């Protein structure tokens, strides 16, 4: 029962732009906690994708970007490529639960 809600799935054609939302509340994202994003392919560990709301680790293409506003955050992927197909998770902290929390996860399909 995650407190961060993501759409179960999103899709887009190669070259297009897609966004994945991460909706929280006043006890997590709305409380000012940072949001991080991870990419996961089937059968593999999550990969560090975006940190501190809108920063990319070394090696992550600039096609990936993050933003945060109010009680929500978003991940945008431009110039969609077949290799981007996978699952995406947001992550933050919830002060009511006193716990690190992940989003429900979004499956990205490249058409």
Which one, 63 or 102, has the nearer CB to other proteins? 102
Min dist CB 110 to other proteins, Å, is 21
d(CA 32, CA 68): 10
Q: Total number of residues binding other proteins (CB under 8 A)?
A: 27
CB of 105 to other proteins, least distance (A): 4
Establish if 64 lies at the interface with other proteins (CB under 8 A): no
């Amino acid at each position: 029962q995650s407190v961060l809600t993501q759409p179960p799935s999103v899709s887009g054609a190669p070259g297009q732009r897609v966004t994945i939302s991460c909706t929280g509340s006043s006890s997590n994202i709305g409380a000012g906690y940072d949001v991080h994003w991870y990419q996961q392919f089937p059968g593999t560990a999550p990969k560090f994708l975006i940190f501190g709301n809108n920063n990319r680790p070394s090696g992550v293409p600039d096609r990936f970007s993050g933003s945060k506003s109010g009680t929500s955050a978003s991940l945008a992927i431009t110039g969609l490529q077949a290799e981007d197909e996978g699952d995406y998770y947001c992550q933050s902290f919830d002060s009511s639960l006193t716990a690190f929390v992940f989003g429900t996860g979004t499956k990205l399909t490249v058409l």
